[in-house]
Amino acid sequence: MAIFNAYDQIADLLAYLDPAKVIALKANEEMQARLEDLIEKSKIGE
């Protein structure tokens, strides 16, 4: 249940931020590379 609590806290934080700040959020290079890798794997069915 702790993982859901963490997601709830993040969702609450984002909900109260200024929309422009939410839009401006960017992943760092490592996170972006990992995301791209996961998307590619998803496309080829791994």
Q: Is 31 domain-assigned?
A: yes
Q: Is 38 domain-assigned?
A: yes
Q: Is 25 domain-assigned?
A: yes
Q: Is 46 domain-assigned?
A: yes
Residue 22 has what pLDDT?
A: 84
Q: Is 13 domain-assigned?
A: no
User: Per the structure, how many domains does the chain have?
Assistant: 1
- DSSP letters for 1-46: -HHHHHHHHHHHHHHHS-HHHHHH----HHHHHHHHHHHHHHHHT-
Domain span holding position 33: 18-46
pTM for this model (two decimals): 0.50
pLDDT in tens, 1-46: 576 788 899 899 889 999 998 889 888 999 999 999 999 999 988 6
